Amino acid sequence: MGAQTTSTRGTFEARVLTLVRRIPRGRVATYGDVAELAGRPRAWRAVGTIMSNCRSPTVPCHRVVGAGGRLGGYSEPWRKRQLLREEGIVVGRRAIRQFSQVRWTPR
């Protein structure tokens, strides 16, 4: 490695996808969380853009939610709520209940 060891050499997108794959079943992370974990704390906007493009079944993109536990976007919103509920997450009309308890933090 050269002197410039800023961080991974992969694209931001690659890091984001890797992170999202690590979110366990029954847990969630916000777009902001993912951005921060990927090393770009303010790139939440870009994370959303990446998610919109991510059609890979190996990436549980439904576990990436909006700030404060709000659902955020999805290709088909009702499907996102359904998937989260199937994992045991309680979703109210607007947001996830007990959000702080289901919010994922890497170890």
Partner DNA sequence: ATTTTGACCGTGC
Partner DNA sequence: CGCACGGCCAAAA
**62 — phi, psi (to 5°)?**
-70, -15
Question: What tokens does 55 get?
Answer: 């059609």
Q: Are 56 and 17 in contact (CB under 8 A)?
A: yes
Q: Smaller CB distance to DNA: residue 42 or 107? A: 42
Q: Is there binding between residue 19 and DNA (CB under 7 A)? A: no
At position 100, the amino acid (one-letter code) is S
DSSP category for residue 49? H
Q: Reply yes or no on whether 54 is catalytic.
A: no
- Among positions 40-99, residues that touch DNA (CB under 7 A) are 40, 42-52, 54, 61-62, 64, 66-68, 70, 72-75, 94
Which residue ranges make up the site for DNA (CB under 7 A)?
Answer: 11-13, 30-32, 40, 42-52, 54, 61-62, 64, 66-68, 70, 72-75, 94
